Amino acid sequence: MVKTLLLSEGFTSRRVSLRCSNCQFRTEESVHLLDLQDFEETIENCPKCKSPNFAIDAIQDVVEELAELASQTGAEVEIISTQTEAGKELDSGFGGIAAILRYSFE
Domains of the chain, first to last? 2-101 (3.30.1330.30)
**From the centroid of its chain, how far is CA 74?**
20
* Of 51, 91, 68, 90, nearest in space to 15 by CA: 68
pTM, to two decimals:
0.76
Name residues whose C-beta falls within 8 Å of residue 53's C-beta, 6 or more positions apart in sequence: 20, 21, 22, 46
Mean pLDDT of 66-94: 92
Judge whether 91 and 82 are in contact, CB under 8 Å.
yes
Could you give the CA distance from residue 46 to residue 105 in angstroms, rounded to a whole number? Answer: 42
- Asked if the model's pLDDT at residue 104 lies above 80, the reply is no
pLDDT band for position 103 (cuts 50, 70, 90) = confident
Could you give the CA distance from residue 70 to residue 13 in angstroms, rounded to a whole number? Answer: 17
